[in-house]
Structure 1
Amino acid sequence: MEEVRRSIDGSAVRILAPAETFIIESPLNREETLRQLQMQPPVFLRHIQPIDGSLNLTETEESAVLPLLANIVGQAQEILRGRRTAVHVRRAEGCAYPHSVFDTKTSLDGVLRDIGATADQRSPEIIVSIYAVKDQLYVGFGTPDELMSDWPGGAIRFQREEEQISRAKFKLLEAERAFGLDYTQYREAIDIGAAPGGWTSLLLERGVSVTAIDPGAMHPSLRNHPKLTYLKRNASEVKFKPNTFDLLVCDMSWSPMQMVKLVLDLNESLAYGATAIVTIKLMHRKPLQTIRDVIAKLESAFIVHRAKQLFHNREEITLFMTKQY
């Protein structure tokens, strides 16, 4: 919320669901507000839904809710006609909305057909976003870029695999998607603070050779992998030849400045233009200041392309960087 206030002068925010959603009241029009947020990509805001229509659920007969919702969507015919359209439905806990996600989508898929739009949940050009909270139902229309995600509420979900080492793997998967990366394009990676091996396992699956550094133990399933070099040591104790790695990843539960020192100390081992994906733990009261301080130090050796709190992050954010030439 503080980030939004700083990005849009004169804006106000109003909480809808604690620690989850809020309304932005902007002095700018819709297009200018969205443009402002795109010009200064926010770190913490994961999803934004324009409000193009709403229903007060306590003042609406239950039998009339879906027809009125269908009418709101039908009135957007000029926006939706001829475009691949997804319907995203989110329900806050305890909301008064009486219908299931399935029933809502089924009803609106019929409306989309009638107005000449194509229902497409996988690769939409535009999204109909529906959010039910307390006694209100909010409806909005926007492209995935405008909404900042093509997942409902920006909540990117991956299926847990039977032998998955840790859920930390999801963070690296989401980073690949969020930052437009392809891990199969890398040759040699260094994973700092690798144990038990969630991030290392993903990179090995993509065919990358990985040097994993951690005084802790790696998962037994990884130990004999032909592309893994495991150094059971602190990262501060190791050195490598220049230009050894084209990818560095780091997801340690250390202080932000300790992480910065380790990454900068290993900078010489990275090839020019190498990619770095690192997490910053935000355990202090001033997260925005911590982020600024960390980025300022890392910019001595890296171009910081994006700082983002991903859905699978918790009290941390992820940085996407490349080594300066």
Structure 2
Amino acid sequence: MSDRIDSAAGSRFVVTSNHGFSAYAQDELRALLPGTKFDELVPAEVYVMRSPQSRNGTIRAVAAKEPIFVRHLHPVDADVPTSGTAEDMARLAAAVEAAYREVAVVPAHGAETETASASTVAVQIRKAESFDGDYTPAELRDAVASSLRETFGVETVVKDSDWIVSVFLAAETAYIGVSTAADNLSDWAGGAIRFRKEEGQVSRAKFKLLEAEYAFGLDLSAFARSLDIGAAPGGWTSLLLERGSEVTAVDPADLHPDLLGHPNLTYLKRNAGDVAFKPDSYDLLVCDMSWSPRQMVKLIVPLLAALRPGGTAIVTLKLMHGKPFQTVKDSVRAMQPAMELRKAKQLFHNRDELTVYLQKKFENAETL
């Protein structure tokens, strides 16, 4: 990467958070990168981060301690004034070519070349509501993809690409970046992970667990026995059953009738506070309840004994009091010393909540 792109004088990134939570994300980023400043693009959601560190230094700092409330970011390798007319597309495609050549092609080949045949590229175009143009993001995406194919011979794909070209269209400026999915924290545009609603789907809550699987690098099919606390109507239970797990679902409310009778389902229509299980009998414990974190943790703690050492817990924490960092800290502390926090993240499918991934410690973990 050239010195022009990775400037020691500082760097800029377009950053996205769930709507209404950008202030928390900015607090996290300032703690990681003292001196960082922000310019709003979409109120309380998308903003330009001006980091005092270099492009690569900023990426490394964010990756080393991924913020809870940053959903997605991409570097600003070029910004181009826009008029909103169709003439923008040719200028933006040319600017993308220049950024791609400097970031992806020259470092890979040691000298400028017009071929990068080993690379696949995803082109992601987003816009602010304030953008008013004669062309659509889809039309610009097609123009940019065509330009990259013709100039560099790359294959443009939707997912699992070697490189991501990001363009954010603000009111009068387009912010362009070339990066990898790891640099962006997500390979979805803006970190907005979208799943197709299935016919007969029990509830949209299923999407939260699907996204947690992706965000935390888990494989739900690896868990042979699962315990779902507060399971009704059964969105998370249904996904675990699809993955082949034997599921014990606990809730005094009704599960969806389509789940009843499943050979791998044990349904306890009771309050979780009134049940007990054999120690070390489950690989996975999940809980997605609309209770306050304090109530929910109080309910879960006695059930942690049922989770085997090394087992996983995925828990949704409702942010009911406007103190998200303290909520995570207090909730994890209440589950110690049995559990270790692996990652906390506000997912795209979270609303006024976040999701934590914990792992049960081995008894002699401190000596391992």
Instruction: Provide TM-score, normalisation by structure 1.
Output: 0.96
Quote the Cα distance in structure 2 between the aligned partners of 1:98 and 1:140: 23
CA contact (8 A) 1:254 1:281 kept: yes
Alignment match of 2:339 (pick from 298, 302, 317): 302
Aligned to 2:101: 77
Aligned to 1:51: 76
8 Å CA contact 2:86, 2:135 repeated in 1: no
In structure 2, what is the Cα distance between the partners aligned to 1:64 and 1:100? 13
Name the CA shift for 1:97/1:5 in 2 (closer, same or farther; >3 Å): farther
Q: CA deviation at 1:285?
A: 1.9
- 1:67-99 Cα deviation digits (max 9, x unpaired): 111111111224344221110011122313432
What's 1:11 paired with?
36
Alignment of 1:308-319 (within 5 A): 308-319=345-356
Counterpart in the other structure of 1:173 = 210
Aligned to 2:282: 245
* d(CA) in 2 for partners of 1:216, 1:71: 58
Superimposed CA distance per residue, residues 39-92 of structure 1 (whole angstroms, 9 cap, x where no aligned partner): 1111010100111111222xx472431111111111122434422111001112
Distance 2:33 2:103 in 1: 26
Distance 1:299 1:33 in 2: 32
Pairwise CA RMSD of aligned residues?
A: 1.4
Which one is further off, 289-298 or 167-176? 289-298
Please list the CA deviations of residues 293-312 of structure 1 after superposition, one character each: whole Å capped at 9, or x if unmatched.
Answer: 21222242112110001100
| The one of 76, 85, 103 aligned to 1:62 | 85
| Equivalence for 2:191 | 154
1:87 aligned residue: 123
Instruction: Give the paired residue count.
Output: 323
TM-score of the pair, normalised by structure 2: 0.85
Cα distance between partner residues in 2 of 1:298 and 1:241? 19
Aligned mates of 1:61, 1:279 — CA distance in 2: 42
Paired with 2:104 and 2:153, the residues of 1 have a C-alpha distance of 8
- Unaligned ranges ≥5, structure 2: 1-25, 106-115, 363-368
- Which AA in structure 2 matches 1:163? G
The structure-2 alpha-carbon separation of the partners of 1:192 and 1:61, relative to structure 1 and needing over 3 Å to count, comes to closer
The answer for the alignment partner of 2:252 in structure 1 is 215
Q: Identify the residue that residue 138 of structure 2 maps to in structure 1.
A: 102
* Helix, strand or coil at the partner of 1:134: coil
SS at match of 2:169: strand
User: Identity of counterpart residues, as a percentage?
Assistant: 46
Q: Runs ≥4 in structure 1, deviation > 4 angstroms?
A: none
Contact 1:91–1:97 at 8 Å: present in 2 too?
no
Corresponding letter in the other structure for 1:84: T
For residues 109-258 of structure 1, what are the structure 2 equivalents within 5 Å? 109-113=145-149, 114-258=151-295
Q: C-alpha distance in 1, partners of 2:317/2:276?
A: 23
Aligned amino acid, residue 15 of structure 1: E
1:316 partner amino acid: E
